[in-house]
Amino acid sequence: MKKMILLAAGVCGVFGLGYVTGAGAAPKPHVFELRTYVTPEGKLDDLKARFRDHTLKIFEKHGMKNVVYGVPSDAPASQNTLIYLLQHDSREAAKKSWDDFRTDPNWLKARDASEKNGKLTTKVESIFLDPVDFSPMK
């Protein structure tokens, strides 16, 4: 018998659903990837448009779950920084997803079109997170 468990995430009010099968079974944990992009001056809106119009859909196509996107509340980072969180089934799944994404013709077309007036990032940072046992979102 399946029991539905609502996992309330503390990350910007996002909710995830997990299913438990059998007595005492725990939901399979995921791995999360926190990514930070810093843009050249004046390019943040262009980067946000590329994500809004293209990137999120292509991420989903390649098995990456979009969890949350945001900009810092305070300047100066609010003027040039996009931070987002992805969910993957595993580190291996993340690697495969990224490899497939980087060669996706739709991504290459969107990237090239959005960078016709210059690159949209000066720095990209990626940190993988393994949920701890008390994390509301696993």
| CATH assignment at residue 116 | 3.30.70.100
Condensed to tens digits (0 to 9), the pLDDT of residues 68-90 reads 999 999 999 999 999 999 999 99
Q: Is residue 45 part of a domain?
A: yes
Q: Is residue 3 part of a domain?
A: no
Mean pLDDT, range 29-39, rounded to an integer: 95
Q: Is residue 12 part of a domain?
A: no
pLDDT at 137: 78
Higher pLDDT among residues 78 and 6, named by residue: 78
Task: Evaluate if residue 116 carries a pLDDT over 60.
Answer: yes
> What confidence tier does 29 reach under pLDDT thresholds 50, 70, 90?
confident
Residue 83: phi and psi, rounded to 5, are: -125, 135
Mean pLDDT, range 22-37, rounded to an integer: 77
Task: Evaluate if residue 31 carries a pLDDT over 50.
Answer: yes
Strand partners, 7: 16
Q: Is residue 94 part of a domain?
A: yes
* CB-based contact 86:35 (threshold 8 Å): yes
pLDDT at 27: 60
Residue with token string 């305070």: 74
Q: Is residue 136 part of a domain?
A: no
Q: Is residue 113 part of a domain?
A: yes
In whole angstroms, give the CA distance from residue 22 to residue 42: 53
pLDDT at 15: 33
Strand partners, 126: 35
Count of domains for the chain: 1
Domain hosting residue 81, numbered range: 28-129
Nearest to 88 by CA among 72, 71, 104, 101: 101
Cα–chain-centroid distance for residue 77? 19
> What confidence tier does 135 reach under pLDDT thresholds 50, 70, 90?
confident
pTM: 0.79
Q: Is residue 81 part of a domain?
A: yes
> What confidence tier does 10 reach under pLDDT thresholds 50, 70, 90?
very low
Supply 100's token pair: 């497939």
Q: Is residue 50 part of a domain?
A: yes
